[in-house]
């Protein structure tokens, strides 16, 4: 594991933001399943998706991929063996 990950507060700040955005997206998704014509909720969902995409791109540019199987790029050398993995924090 890289020492900078343990000591870099931005790493944890970005992960916290991603967790909060994911929570909002899950809740909005559940709401929209039963209220599919709520334009305000759809707008909020799409704005939150954009925010999540921006935060995820920043995280990945600084610390490596968040998702595998083609959802995130890897730098060189292969970054999937770098820990801690985002879901371990």
Residue 78 is predicted with a pLDDT of: 57
Q: How far apart are the first and last CA of the chain?
A: 13
DSSP 8-state secondary structure symbol assigned to residue 70? T
Positions of the chain with pLDDT under 70: 1-7, 68-82, 85-87, 89
Cα–Cα dist 74/56, whole Å: 14
How many CA within 13 A on the CB side of residue 81?
A: 3
Cα–Cα dist 78/44, whole Å: 36
Map out the domains of the chain as residue ranges.
3-88
When the pLDDT of each residue in the chain is averaged and rounded to a whole number, the result is 81
């Amino acid at each position: 594991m890289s020492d900078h990950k343990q000591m870099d507060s931005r790493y944890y700040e970005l992960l916290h933001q991603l967790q909060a955005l994911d929570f909002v997206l899950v809740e909005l998704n559940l709401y929209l399943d039963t209220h599919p014509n709520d334009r305000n909720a759809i707008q909020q969902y799409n704005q939150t998706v954009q925010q999540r995409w921006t935060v995820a791109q920043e995280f990945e540019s600084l610390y490596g991929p968040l998702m595998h199987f083609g959802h995130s790029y890897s730098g060189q050398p292969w970054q999937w063996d770098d820990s801690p993995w985002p879901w371990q924090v």
